[in-house]
Every structure is written in structure tokens, then in C-alpha cells.
Amino acid sequence: MATRQSTTTTTYHSCSCGEQFETTEKLLEHAREAHGLSVF
């Protein structure tokens, strides 16, 4: 398998509710306030 993900380097962290965040910190912050979770 020589398939590499060279197209997209920026990974967006998607919450289970559909929200997307650029960084993990924002995702975690949202998860805490919105869902009461610390880590997915």
C-alpha cells in the first residue's frame, strides 16, 4: 500500500454533534461546555 495522505495536512477535529474545530483544544473546550466531556 503506497497510498499516502498528501493532499490534506490540516485535520479538522469533528465533534459527534457535527461541530468542527481547527485544534484539539477547541474541540475539548467545546466538548466540556456543550457535552460535559473532557476527552473523546
What is the rounded distance in angstroms from the CA atom of residue 27 to the CA atom of residue 12?
A: 9
C-alpha cell of residue 9: 495536512
For the CB of residue 11, give the shortest distance to Zn ion in the complex, in Å.
Answer: 17
Show the binding pattern over residues 1-40: x = contacts Zn ion (CB under 5 A), - = does not.
--------------x-x-x--------------x------
3-class SS at 21? strand
Please work out the total of residues on this chain that contact Zn ion, with binding judged by CB under 5 A. Answer: 4
What single-letter DSSP state applies at residue 33? I
The residue ranges that bind Zn ion (CB under 5 A) are: 15, 17, 19, 34
